[in-house]
């Protein structure tokens, strides 16, 4: 395990529980550390209030499933009235 693996996992775990966090910008997303984007998908599923972008604030589209999760999260936020 690379040292960055642990750091990213701890960071994402903290972000999963951060109720006030709305946006997160990451570039580039490391396919080497998370080739199937499992950590990112788990983060987005556990924190429905969060939107992840790359630079310059474009929705991060790393595979087909991530944009679908983000779209579902936008519906969730709209229903809850979260801005």
Q: Provide the residue ranges of all domains of the chain, joining segments of one domain with +.
A: 3-80
Using CB atoms within 10 A of its CB, is residue 32 exposed (0-12), middle (13-18) or buried (19+)? exposed
Share of the chain above pLDDT 70, in %: 89
pTM for this entry = 0.82
The CB-side HSE value for 49 (13 A sphere, CA atoms) comes to: 12
Q: Which residue has the higher pLDDT, 60 or 25?
A: 25
Q: DSSP secondary-structure letter at 60?
A: P
Q: What is the pLDDT of residues 43-62, one digit of tens each?
A: 999 999 998 888 766 667 67
């Amino acid at each position: 395990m690379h040292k960055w693996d642990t750091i990213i996992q701890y960071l994402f775990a903290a972000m999963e529980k951060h109720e006030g966090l709305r946006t997160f910008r990451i570039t580039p997303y490391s396919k080497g550390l998370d080739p199937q984007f499992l950590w990112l998908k788990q983060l987005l599923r556990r924190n429905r209030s969060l939107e992840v972008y790359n630079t310059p604030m474009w929705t991060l589209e790393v595979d087909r499933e991530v944009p679908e999760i983000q779209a579902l999260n936008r519906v969730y936020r709209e229903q809850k009235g979260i801005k």
